[in-house]
Structure 1
Amino acid sequence: MTIPDAAELRARIAVRRRDFVVDIALAVVPGETVAVTGRSGAGKSTLLGALAGLTPLDEGEISVDGRVIDRAPRLRTDPMRRGIVLLGQEARLFPHLTARENVAFGPRSAGVPASVARSSADEWLARVGLPGTGDRRPAQLSGGEQQRVAVARALAAEPRVVLLDEPLVALDAVTASEIRTMLHERLAGVTTVAVTHDAVDAAALADRLVIVERGRVTQQGPVREVLSAPATEVAARIAGLERLEGVAQGGAFVRGALRLESTDAASLALARAEGAELAAVFPASAMRLGAGSPVTVSHLEQTPTGVRVVTDHGAAEVAPAEAASIRPGDVVRVSVAPERVRFVAAT
């Protein structure tokens, strides 16, 4: 039961969609996990499909450890011969095979003797937290257990690169947390590209985060750096933050009637450049109603913990009782404590 040496993945994929072109360059160093996120339809799954060999390239090239496996328009390696495995939202186990035989399938297909493959499969099942379950069929397993078997099956095939396409999205919160922890442990040292909508998944699994919007990379870098200083509204929403664009005026951030200050040293330095374009970044939970700058309410959204009051200058998360008398079109006053605000250069 081994994992091969981690591989380097390099790709530039261009795939024409109906209304835009997905054009993404990606370089993943050996053993690195890169999370890719963005809105639905941005091109994330197209990227994974191209890397896995399921989606033909219109332009570009893909290589693993310097070996070109895809180059448009003439070279295209069969998905089974790429050394790349894709783990999706559904476990897709063979229903007629036991968990052991599902995990042993890849090694047996590669010529490993059946007894060796089955013994290795039992070891992999134990590594993903399912010791003693080898004789069960998928129908006898819970959704979380099936996903664990799918992870074991993927890694037992000794891939050079692992692709994750939101493998936790269909699981309940508790099970997803358990599988997330298991993935973090089992994928350590394995070159991985993980597509996710969840900032928690990115922070827990990845070394680097790539934001994709309409087929293009708009921001990338270490996960926590991207999440703490989002360059676009999409990145901010993924990070659970508000991001407003305005200008530096009098050492503060100004957008229309809204004025925000910051106590952050780097933010104050940016705010001293009078007239410079800035973005103010802060948690929605930091915006308070009742005092400060006047803004107009756009609409209200129910959340698990209260109500999100969306205005033309950001949003505030408040208790239901506080939002009971607020209606779209109302003018309310909002403020954000300076210690909760950061300024970044607008891009």
Structure 2
Amino acid sequence: MTGSDAGTPGRRQRKAEAGSNAAVHGPSRDVGVDAGTRRAAAALRAHVVVRRRAFTVDIPLEVAPGETVAVMGRSGSGKSTLLGALAGLTPLDGGEISVDGRVLDQAPRTRTDPMHRGIVLLGQDARLFPHLTARENVAFGPRAAGVAASIARSSADEWLARVGLPGAGDRRPGQLSGGEQQRVAVARALAAAPRVVLLDEPLVALDAVTASEIRAMLRERLAGVTTVAVTHDAVDAAALADRLLIVERGRVTQEGAVREVLAAPATEVAARIAGLEWLTGEARGGAFVRGGLRLETTDAGSRALADVDGVPLAAVYRATDARLGVGAPAIVSHLEPTPTGVRVSTDGGVVEVPPAVAAGLAPGDGVRVDVAPESVRFVAAS
């Protein structure tokens, strides 16, 4: 059993849907306000270099027309800096940003104002104008671009219906729930027919049921719209994106089709994002060894491990696939309740077991951690 690389980036050209069309963000005559108008999706190419105190963000990014790319990583890894640079809110220290070949930023000579990039940013806060109705919020972009008020308002009502809020045009933000406000924010963004949409964890402040509803709505409404989505939730990435980038300390450490990256993480950060355990050790005698812990593998895997004897490796597995035994080398460090059982952390790995199995266990107890060979994957330790 051997490790794998990030794989070939998977790009799925999704069919453009009526209403998810492209134009500019900000005052322009090139805004398609008719929710049924089709326009070609844009291609985004960028190399974002931004110097930060602890490290330099240095991220190359290419998004095909109509593709959605998810960006994941630990807090502070540079994800929001990337979005800020794409949106024009954070100046580049190096690199270049272009949409359909039009250079928006090129450090240090060129910098396009955020309002004239054709890029919209949707964040955790809907940021609706509190004194305007939902209809006027959605109509704001087209009206600022010179579209007649009656046309912009009619289009706004169409967009509100498309995001699941028919008849809500006269309500102000204070009369809407958090989920409803996010729906209006999506309608407002798409009514301006942006070239590129940036999502900065727009679902994080919502309850699970509302987040699920908004996620489904985003998947439908953003089909055919070039999108970059920053999220901490692998569910969002799997539901919304074609490709996934893992970012660590300002660098891309893994890239590929979403399901491929989540199934075969190449780093500890990627493993944690995928909900997998990452246990470091080394190949020894055809097995994976960590202190007194020894994980056997299949015959083919054993031969592969024998070929890399002494090489640092990581065992990747699901905590729910591991089992606890008694009286072997792993020492319990702590126990944590989960919605489905108890997470038992030891110096020989992590196990999630039913409450009855964990009954009587305490920090300091000796246990055995068993993982079936077919449930473990070994990769080079990074």
- 1:161 to 2:199 alignment: no
- 1:261 to 2:300 alignment: no
Residue of structure 2 equivalent to 1:50: 85
Does the CA contact (< 8 Å) of 1:37 and 1:209 recur in 2? Answer: yes
2:52 to 6, 17, 21: 17
Q: Which has the higher mean CA deviation after the structures are superposed, 335-344 or 141-150?
A: 335-344
Distance 1:292 1:132 in 2: 65
SS in 2 for 1:115: helix
Distance 1:110 1:313 in 2: 61
Shift of residue 277, structure 1, vs aligned partner: 4.1
Does the CA contact (< 8 Å) of 2:199 and 2:227 recur in 1? Answer: yes
Residue of structure 1 equivalent to 2:42: 7
- 1:232 to 2:267 alignment: yes
- 1:270 to 2:304 alignment: yes
Which amino acid is 2:91 matched to? Answer: P
Distance 2:299 2:135 in 1: 55
Residue of structure 2 equivalent to 1:93: 128
Does the CA contact (< 8 Å) of 1:261 and 1:341 recur in 2? Answer: no
Shift of residue 249, structure 1, vs aligned partner: 3.4
Q: Which has the higher mean CA deviation after the structures are superposed, 256-265 or 317-326?
A: 256-265
Output aligned runs, 1:171-250, within 5 Å. Answer: 171-250=206-285
Does the CA contact (< 8 Å) of 2:72 and 2:79 recur in 1? Answer: yes
Shift of residue 177, structure 1, vs aligned partner: 0.5
Does the CA contact (< 8 Å) of 2:124 and 2:202 recur in 1? Answer: yes
Shift of residue 4, structure 1, vs aligned partner: 3.2
Structure 1 pair 184–105 and aligned structure 2 pair: CA distance change class (3 A): same
Distance 1:292 1:238 in 2: 32
Any unmatched runs of 5+ in structure 1? none
Output aligned runs, 1:51-66, within 5 Å. Answer: 51-66=86-101
Output aligned runs, 1:69-80, within 5 Å. Answer: 69-80=104-115
Distance 1:270 1:212 in 2: 30
Structure 1 pair 128–270 and aligned structure 2 pair: CA distance change class (3 A): farther
Q: Which has the higher mean CA deviation after the structures are superposed, 228-237 or 282-291?
A: 282-291
Distance 1:184 1:232 in 2: 28
Structure 1 pair 259–89 and aligned structure 2 pair: CA distance change class (3 A): same
Deviation readout 1:173-208 (Å, 9 max, x if unpaired): 011011111111111111100000000000000000
Shift of residue 33, structure 1, vs aligned partner: 0.4
Distance 2:240 2:81 in 1: 21
Deviation readout 1:66-101 (Å, 9 max, x if unpaired): 111011122111000000000000111111111111
Does the CA contact (< 8 Å) of 1:4 and 1:159 recur in 2? Answer: no
Shift of residue 287, structure 1, vs aligned partner: 1.3
The higher-RCO structure (CA 8 Å, 6+ apart) is 2
TM-score w.r.t. structure 1 length? Answer: 0.94
Residue of structure 2 equivalent to 1:140: 175
Does the CA contact (< 8 Å) of 2:327 and 2:367 recur in 1? Answer: no
Percent identity over the alignment is: 79
The CA RMSD measured in Å over matched residues stands at 1.8
Residue of structure 2 equivalent to 1:124: 159
Distance 2:265 2:201 in 1: 22
SS in 1 for 2:307: coil
Distance 2:55 2:333 in 1: 30
The alignment of Structure 1 onto Structure 2 pairs a total of residues equal to 346
SS in 2 for 1:96: coil
SS in 2 for 1:344: strand
SS in 2 for 1:150: helix
Distance 1:311 1:47 in 2: 37
Which amino acid is 1:101 matched to? Answer: E
Distance 1:115 1:272 in 2: 73
Distance 2:306 2:151 in 1: 68
Shift of residue 143, structure 1, vs aligned partner: 0.9
Which amino acid is 2:106 matched to? Answer: R
TM-score w.r.t. structure 2 length? Answer: 0.86
SS in 1 for 2:71: strand
Distance 1:269 1:3 in 2: 56
Distance 2:281 2:127 in 1: 48
Distance 1:220 1:202 in 2: 13
Shift of residue 326, structure 1, vs aligned partner: 2.6
Does the CA contact (< 8 Å) of 1:264 and 1:339 recur in 2? Answer: no
Does the CA contact (< 8 Å) of 1:293 and 1:335 recur in 2? Answer: no
Distance 1:200 1:264 in 2: 34
Considering fraction of residues, name the structure with more strand.
Answer: 1
